[in-house]
Chain A
Amino acid sequence: LISFIPRLPYRIQVPTGLAVAVTVSVLMVSIVAARISERTARREIVVTVQRVITLLAAQGRPLLVAEDTFRAYALLRNTAALLPDADKGHTRAAILDADGRFLAGSDPLRLPTGEQALGVSVNARLLPRAKDVTTPRTVAAADGSLSLLQPILSEDEKVIGFVLAEVDAATFAPDWMALSKPGLIGAALAILVLGPLGWLAGRRMAQPIAQIVRSIALIGRVDPAKVRELLPTVADIELGQIAGAVHRLVGEMVANQANEQRALAAERLAAVGRITAAVAHEINNPLAGLLTAVRTLRLHGDAPDTRLRTVDLIERGLHQIGTMTTALLPQARVEDRCLSPNDLEDVMTLARANASTHAVSLDAARELGADLLVASTVFRQVMLNLLLNAIKAAGEGGQVHAALYADPQTVRFTVSNTGRAMSKTELQQRLGTEGGNDPQGFGLWICQEFAIRYGGGFEASDPSAISPPFSTSLSFWLPNRHHHDDQEVAAD
């Protein structure tokens, strides 16, 4: 019941709780009253029996003298009605002769006329001998019953008989029905009144709670102002605290939503800026190589091979710019071919113009143990970015070494350079700035973005693993799959 009650609504819980409380109170009061009543009732019963005995001793004396059994019986029968619980047969009285035999008893079947009463066990009670009863005696039995004896004296103080009263233990037992009846009636009346009142009180208690619950349920689904309107105004301290907390929660949610909106707008602006910068950067990177190719074409364009190769280079460079700018748009799907060994040559060609400008020694190597099944535009852009970044890091008179590796699982491009070293931590910090704040770092940021987007990796080698004279080695890899168009975008 205890575990079941909390699952009931307040309008049931409150009246039920009140009813249980009243009933338990009545029960406790009845138990205490019964204990008190038992003690006082025992005294009162004994006093009443003693009074009856005194009356019988006085009225029975002439009958005892006359040995008038029937009139003694009539006296006992009528007087025994004064004994407590006599109607239930729990008390009885008798007049005994001087030898302790029954002259008559109020219940002749239990107090048989002429039979010995004193000095023997009667009704499971052992009474004292007649000669030992010279004053009133009370004999208590183990079962709680009592036998009261009073000698009847002649005018010259001789014992001529006795009055015996027997009180069964049941007489002293509390009458639970009588004791609890007033309490039960009171409890019933109280429940009758408290039931409806409790129901109303429970409903009144539950109403603001239910309203608060409804308001909380609407958070996030309706306008916060509407939620605030629905919140009840309560005088109760605890409910007021709950309502206040919900008010604050809604306020904080409104503030958070505004902040998120602002952050989103800022993020969008930042993203637009990053894309714009990246596009500009990616266009700018091959421009130096293309300009060199144009100069080459201008200077050596008469030679058909040179012209054709240079024009092809320019075409591929321009095509790369076009494809790259499209690839930088997050939702774009780019139709691209697979990387080829010539792409490494193109990229090296485009980078050499920059390397020569900075007087940097640039060479490349390749170890292709499998077909190159990665998107050419992405990989070309990464290779170019890493080479230009390495040339810049190597500085005047520095060295840059590029290497392209392929195995059935990955296609990896590694660029090592002399000059200022870049550790793994420094690379991560560099990438963590998102490049957007540092126009010089866009190349690395784009490599990182491509690695994430196409399920590859981009990392700096541990300094101990780098062969001298190089101080920095950056490595970019992509999964070597069947066809770049089948690649799933790992991150968008």
Chain B
Amino acid sequence: MRRRRFLDCIAAVGLPLVGAHASAAAPTLRVGLTAVILADQAAFLARWSEYLSERVGVAVTFVARDSYQAILDLLFAKQLDAAWICGYPYVRHQAQLRLLAVPLYQGRPLYQSYLIRTRGAANLNGWSDLKGRVLAYSDPLSNSGWLVGQAQLRAAGLGPQDLRRSFFAHGHSNVADAVASGLAQAGCIDGYVWETMHLQKMATVAATQVIWRSDFYGFPPIVVRRDDPNAALALLGQTLLRMHDEPGGQDLLRALNLGGFAKPAPALYDSIRSLVKLVHGAHA
């Protein structure tokens, strides 16, 4: 429902701007959002958009989609100028993408993947217990919501056929929703998203329990096309890096449950690169 409300808002605010980009000359920066954050908060996004627009000097708008691939498609089609995506698609498309900024979560540009279960399901305590169960993933291009899970299932000696069923829930919050309702007995979810939902006391998270935490991986970055010459993007990057220095920026960061943004280095995502090799090698 939140997603539906959000999409309605985006349809009212963001999409017309995307459509206008092709024909209007007014400078605008369009930033794509995915399930790496709780993007279903129109009021917050409006405030953040206003904050960034004032400092960058051009209108900054947000465009959300419930799949990473859709955002990537828009980005590569030059319908978007920047996108907040997961580390896994960045690694997959790093030749075409440039890191603009990376969030700091609990002081570091790192996060974890969680395996969650329905609260009270005492006989499900780890990956090896998933045999014959239903497992929910977030997105096929999500590191925490798919790639980590694939590696762990492999490590537990389980293949896709050992699960009763698995499905993509099209977003981390939907994974929590699916597990809470019993649609799936377990789910792979972004640890930052789960903790933020927990912080906001969302009912769906309260009905779930974390039964496993992964190693730390590079936090989902904000990326731009490597060949995009738009000078405003540099201003956008500098504004993001300075957000934690201003009270207005701090308020927005607090709402995002983040400490700030930092200048990322490609090496931050080496662990994901290793995971990709592991999983894709296994698949091969």
| In contact, B182 and A112 (Cβ under 8 angstroms) | yes
Whether A292 is near chain B, meaning CB under 8 Å from some CB there, is no
Q: Which of A65-79 contact B (CB under 8 A)?
A: 67-71, 73, 77
Contacts of B167 in A (CB 8 A): 67-70, 113
B170 touching A104, Cβ below 8 Å: no
Report the minimum CB–CB distance from A413 to chain B (whole Å). Answer: 125
What is the distance, in angstroms, from B179's C-beta to the closest C-beta of chain A? 10
**Could you say which of B168, B170, B174, B183 contacts A113, with CB atoms under 8 Å apart?**
B183
Report which residue of A70, A73, A77, A105 has the largest number of chain B beta carbons within 10 angstroms of its beta carbon: A70
The answer on a CB contact under 8 Å between A114 and B170 is: no
Residues of B within 8 A of A113 (CB): 134, 164-165, 167, 183-184
* Cα–Cα distance between A47 and B165 once the two chains are bound (Å): 33
| B169 contacts A by Cβ under 8 Å | yes
Q: Enumerate chain A residues within 8 angstroms of B168, measured Cβ to Cβ.
A: 68, 70
Q: Does B71 contact A (CB under 8 A)?
A: no
CA distance A464 to B183 in the complex (A): 127
Task: Judge whether A109 is part of the interface by a CB distance below 8 angstroms.
Answer: yes
Question: B143-171: contact bitstring with A at CB < 8 Å (1 yes, 0 no)?
Answer: 00000000000000000000011011110
Question: Within 8 Å of chain A (Cβ to Cβ): is B10?
Answer: no
A115 in the interface, Cβ–Cβ < 8 Å?
yes
B178 within 8 A of A: yes
Of B164, B168, B183, B184, chain A has the most CB atoms within 10 Å of the CB of: B183
> Does the CB pair A73–B182 fall under 8 Å?
no
A408 contacts the other chain (CB 8 A): no
Chain A: minimal CB distance from B281 (Å): 26
Give the number of residue pairs across the A-B interface with Cβ within 8 Å: 38
Judge whether B178 and A73 touch: CB under 8 Å.
yes
B136 within 8 A of A: yes
Tell me which residues from 40 to 77 in chain A have a Cβ below 8 Å from any Cβ of chain B.
Answer: 67-71, 73, 77
Q: Which residue of B lies closest to A69 (CB)?
A: B167
A397 at the interface (CB under 8 A from B): no
- Find B134's partner among A67, A68, A77, A114 (CB 8 Å cutoff): A114
Q: Are B165 and A70 in contact (CB under 8 A)?
A: no
B96 near A: Cβ within 8 Å? no
Q: Compute how far the CA of A77 lies from the CA of B182 in the bound complex, rounded to whole angstroms.
A: 13
Report Cα–Cα, A70/B135, bound state, in Å.
11
A77: chain B residues at CB < 8 Å are: 181
Please encode chain A, from 348 to 388, with 1 for each CB lying within 8 Å of some chain B CB and 0 for all others. 00000000000000000000000000000000000000000
Q: Which of A69, A71, A109 contacts B165 (CB 8 A)?
A: A69
Q: Give chain A's interface residue range (CB within 8 Å of chain B).
A: 10 to 19
Contact B164 A70 (CB under 8 A): no
CA–CA, A104 to B174, complex, Å? 14
Is A439 part of the binding interface, using a Cβ–Cβ cutoff of 8 Å?
no
- Residues of the A chain whose Cβ atoms lie less than 8 Å from the Cβ of B182: 108-109, 112
**Central interface residue in A67, A71, A113, A115, by most chain B CB within 10 Å:** A113
Cα A77 to Cα B183 with chains together (Å): 11
Task: Name the residue among A104, A108, A109 with the largest chain B CB count within 10 angstroms.
Answer: A108
Interface centre among B164, B165, B170, B182 (most CB of A within 10 A): B165
Please report the total number of B residues contacting A with Cβ < 8 Å. 14
Chain A residues closer than 8 Å to B134, beta-carbon distance: 112-114
Q: Choose among B165, B169, B174, B181 the residue that contacts A114 (Cβ–Cβ < 8 A).
A: B165
Residues of the B chain whose Cβ atoms lie less than 8 Å from the Cβ of A104? 183
Task: For residue B72, give the distance in angstroms from its CB to the closest CB of chain A.
Answer: 19
Nearest B residue (CB) for A74: B174
- Complex Cα spacing A73 to B183, Å: 8
Q: What CA separation (Å) do A69 and B185 show in the bound complex?
A: 13
**How many angstroms from the CA of A228 to the CA of B5 in the assembled complex?**
90
Identity of the chain A residue whose Cβ is nearest the Cβ of B169 in the assembled complex: A70
**Chain B residues whose CB sits within 8 angstroms of the CB of A109 once the complex forms:** 181-182
B51, chain A: closest CB distance, angstroms: 32
Chain B residues near A73 (CB, 8 Å)?
A: 178, 181, 183
- Taken together as a complex, chains A and B put the C-alpha atoms of A114 and B183 apart, in Å, by 10
Bitwise, A388-424 to B at CB < 8 A (1) or not (0) is 0000000000000000000000000000000000000
Minimal beta-carbon separation of B115 from chain A (angstroms): 18
Query: How distant is the Cα of A68 from the Cα of B181 in the complex, in angstroms?
Result: 16
Q: How far is the CB of A250 from the nearest CB of chain B, in Å?
A: 88
Nearest chain A residue, comparing its CB with the CB of B136: A70
Contacting pair A115 B164 (CB below 8 A): yes
* CB-defined contacts of A69 to chain B, threshold 8 Å: 165, 167, 183
Bound Cα distance from A328 to B167, whole angstroms: 135
Query: Within the assembled complex, what's the spacing in Å between the Cα atoms of A69 and B165?
Result: 9
* B178 A114 Cβ-Cβ under 8 A: no
- Indicate if the CB atoms of B170 and A71 lie closer than 8 Å: yes
What is the minimal beta-carbon distance from B68 to any residue of chain A, in angstroms?
15
Q: Which residues of B contact A115 (CB under 8 A)?
A: 164
Q: Mark each residue of chain B from 216 to 227: 1 if its CB lies under 8 Å from any CB of chain A, else 0.
A: 000000000000
User: How far is B167's CA from A115's CA once the two chains are assembled, in angstroms?
Assistant: 14
CB of A74 to closest CB in B, whole Å: 8
Bound form: Cα–Cα A77–B168 in Å: 17
State the Cβ distance, B2 to closest chain A Cβ, in Å.
12
- Within 8 Å CB of B164, what residues of A? 113-115
Closest B residue to A97 by CB, please name it: B165
Residues of A within 8 A of B174 (CB): 70
> Contact at B165–A108, with CB atoms within 8 Å?
no
What is the CB-to-nearest-CB distance from A11 to chain B, in angstroms, rounded to a whole number?
Answer: 60
Neighbouring A residues of B183 by C-beta, 8 Å: 69-70, 73, 104-105, 108, 113
**Which partner residue on chain B sits nearest A76 by CB separation?**
B183
CA distance A67 to B165 in the complex (A): 10
Q: Taking the nearest CB of chain A, how far is it from the CB of B138, in angstroms?
A: 10
Chain A residues with CB under 8 Å of B169's CB are: 70
- Most A CB contacts (10 A, CB to CB) among B164, B167, B181, B184 go to B167
Which chain B residue has the least Cβ–Cβ distance from A105? B183
Residue of B nearest to A70 (CB): B169
Residue of A nearest to B1 (CB): A78
Taken together as a complex, chains A and B put the C-alpha atoms of A69 and B182 apart, in Å, by 12
Apart from A68-B167, A77-B181, what are 5 other A-B pairs with CB-CB below 8 Å? A70-B167, A105-B183, A109-B181, A113-B134, A113-B184
Q: What are 27 A-B contacts with C-beta separation under 8 Å?
A: A67-B167, A68-B167, A68-B168, A69-B165, A69-B183, A70-B136, A70-B167, A70-B168, A70-B169, A70-B174, A70-B178, A70-B183, A71-B170, A73-B181, A73-B183, A77-B181, A104-B183, A105-B183, A108-B181, A108-B182, A108-B183, A109-B182, A112-B134, A112-B182, A113-B165, A113-B184, A114-B134
Interface pairs A-B: 3 shortest CB-CB: A69-B167, A114-B165, A108-B182
